[in-house]
């Protein structure tokens, strides 16, 4: 495996300088200990904001004692107990928390009920500024034309019965956000594409595990990617602007993707130059689309839709992940005055470096049993 030399302009989260921000605020971040949330909290700290990180009772309730600008509160969003009190003194809420695993009922409780409880608590606490994190999964991909531009005006899925649980619950969550905005609150909805970064480089927009191999679907579709640190910066910029009446941000929906988006092949080649990837079989998009469409038609006509198939064979899900489409971040760049900080190559290099540092730190605390790279 050939490893490229690090770019001289590569900047990691740990070395980026803090910025002086005259508009400091107290930000309340749900999901702040997760993959994206950690970077959001770090970016808020770099920009001089105080943060309150809402953690589940099972999580650690203590922050880093050296970080005086960060507080942690232990709350369960599925219950309203203690939520209003935890919002005391907060200026803006960044709602990242969502349940991505489990059946529909588990995800509904974690995502939808949790959001209902949070918004009710915000109303009672008098907190009206909300940066609401949604997802590209809400769009109607089945009826989009190949090559179509997906932007903030594109239709969302109005009949998601055959979509995965995550898409279905995030669609309901978005309606809660819109209700909160209609009640007179200041809301901006951010829809990130696929967020990649350390330990999340080889992801679901490329394909799926298929026995001992990885099944790639297509080669030339553009990937709607955003590097985790680029995405975190956009989220904090939205939090800074949502309370500014001159920003015209309230009521907006913004797609968050990076510049110069790669195709599936371009991304896979770049990742494979830095990490070990699984043995892969590639199926062209037209072939997979034809197979899934034929299976759906057969299921409807002969089995009355009762048969269940893997997600890759369900057109509603297949199109959402692999249909060749185009994407834009123009609206987010204009309204947030945001430019993605990391290029694709820099982001992958930074991710690989972060993974190596994490392994080194983890292994230094373990008994030395071998020199095997346990990637």
DSSP 344-366: HHHHHHHHHHHHHHHHHHHHHTS
Residue 311 located in a structural domain: no
Residue 74 located in a structural domain: yes
Residue 54 located in a structural domain: yes
Pairing of strands 92-95, 50-55: unpaired
Query: Measuring CA to CA, how many Å separate 169 from each of 100, 103, 110, 186, 270?
Result: 9, 11, 9, 22, 33
Residue 89: what pLDDT? 94
Query: Measuring CA to CA, how many Å separate 127 from each of 30, 65, 93?
Result: 14, 27, 8
Answer for the pair 287, 217: CB distance below 8 angstroms, yes or no: no
Answer for the pair 4, 349: CB distance below 8 angstroms, yes or no: yes
Query: Measuring CA to CA, how many Å separate 144 from each of 280, 325, 327, 352?
Result: 28, 8, 13, 35
Answer for the pair 154, 98: CB distance below 8 angstroms, yes or no: no
Task: Report CA 123 to chain centroid distance, whole Å.
Answer: 26
* Domain CATH number, residue 333: 3.40.50.720
Residue 103 token pair? 């059946």
Query: Measuring CA to CA, how many Å separate 121 from each of 114, 180, 253?
Result: 11, 12, 23
Residue 156 token pair? 């969302």
Answer for the pair 283, 217: CB distance below 8 angstroms, yes or no: yes
- Rounded distance between C-alpha atoms, residue 95 and residue 29, angstroms: 6
Residue 140 located in a structural domain: yes
Q: Where are the alpha helices (DSSP H) in the chain?
A: 35-46, 83-86, 104-107, 114-125, 165-182, 228-241, 264-272, 285-302, 315-322, 330-336, 344-364
- The domain tally of the chain equals 1
Residue 300: what pLDDT? 76
Q: Tokens 């290099």 appear where?
A: 349
Residue 240 located in a structural domain: yes
Environment class of 369 (CB within 10 Å of its CB; exposed 0-12, middle 13-18, buried 19+): exposed
- Rounded distance between C-alpha atoms, residue 250 and residue 214, angstroms: 42
Task: Report CA 285 to chain centroid distance, whole Å.
Answer: 24
Residue 370 located in a structural domain: no
Residue 70 token pair? 């960060």
Residue 44 located in a structural domain: yes
pTM: 0.88
Residue 347 located in a structural domain: yes
Residue 219: what pLDDT? 95
Per the structure, the complete domain to which residue 30 belongs is given by 26-199+223-258+325-359
Residue 20: what pLDDT? 53
Q: Tokens 């975190």 appear where?
A: 232
Q: Which of 94, 133, 99, 365 has the alpha carbon at shortest distance from 239?
A: 94
Q: How many alpha carbons fall within 13 Å on the CB side of residue 3?
A: 9
Residue 213 token pair? 């191999």
pLDDT (tens place) for every residue of the chain, 375 residues total? 334 443 333 444 334 545 556 568 899 999 999 999 999 999 999 999 999 999 988 655 444 434 545 789 989 999 999 999 999 999 999 999 999 988 999 999 999 999 999 999 999 999 999 999 999 999 999 999 999 999 999 999 999 988 999 999 999 999 999 999 999 999 999 999 999 999 999 999 999 988 889 999 999 999 999 999 999 999 999 999 998 878 889 999 999 999 999 999 999 999 999 999 999 999 999 999 999 999 888 877 777 677 777 888 899 999 999 999 999 999 999 999 999 999 999 999 999 999 988 777 655 444 433 222 222
Residue 1: what pLDDT? 39
């Amino acid at each position: 495996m050939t490893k490229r030399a690090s770019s001289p302009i590569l900047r990691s989260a740990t070395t980026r300088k803090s910025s002086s921000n005259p508009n400091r605020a107290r930000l309340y971040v749900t999901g702040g200990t997760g993959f994206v949330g950690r970077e959001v909290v770090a970016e808020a700290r770099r920009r001089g904001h105080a943060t309150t990180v809402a953690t589940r009772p099972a999580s650690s309730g203590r922050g880093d004692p050296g970080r005086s600008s960060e507080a942690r509160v232990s709350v369960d969003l599925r219950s309203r107990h203690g939520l209003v009190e935890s919002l005391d003194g907060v200026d803006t809420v960044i709602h990242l928390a969502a349940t991505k695993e489990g059946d529909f009922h588990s995800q509904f409780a974690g995502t939808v009920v949790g959001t209902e409880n949070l918004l009710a608590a915000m109303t009672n606490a008098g907190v009206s500024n909300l940066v609401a994190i949604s997802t590209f999964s809400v769009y109607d991909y089945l009826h989009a034309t190949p090559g179509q531009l997906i932007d903030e005006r594109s239709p969302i899925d109005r009949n998601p019965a055959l979509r995965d649980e995550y898409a279905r619950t995030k669609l309901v969550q978005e309606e809660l956000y819109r209700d909160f905005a209609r009640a007179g609150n200041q809301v901006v909805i951010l829809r990130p594409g696929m967020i990649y970064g350390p330990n999340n480089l080889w992801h679901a927009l490329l394909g799926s595990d298929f026995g001992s191999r990885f099944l790639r679907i297509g080669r030339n579709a553009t990937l709607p990617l955003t590097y985790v640190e680029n995405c975190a910066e956009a989220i904090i910029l939205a939090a800074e602007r949502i309370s500014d009446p001159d920003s015209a941000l309230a009521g907006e929906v913004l797609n968050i993707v990076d510049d110069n988006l790669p195709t599936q092949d371009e991304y896979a080649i770049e990742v494979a130059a830095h990490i070990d990837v699984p043995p892969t079989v590639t199926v062209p998009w037209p072939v997979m689309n034809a197979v899934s469409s034929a299976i759906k038609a057969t299921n409807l006509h002969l089995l009355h839709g009762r048969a269940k198939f893997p997600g890759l064979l369900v057109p509603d899900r297949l199109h959402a992940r692999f249909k060749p489409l185009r994407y834009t971040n123009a609206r987010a760049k204009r309204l947030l005055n945001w430019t993605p900080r990391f290029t694709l190559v820099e982001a992958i290099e930074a991710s690989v470096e972060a993974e190596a540092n994490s392994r080194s730190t983890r292994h230094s605390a373990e008994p030395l049993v071998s020199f095997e790279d346990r990637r």
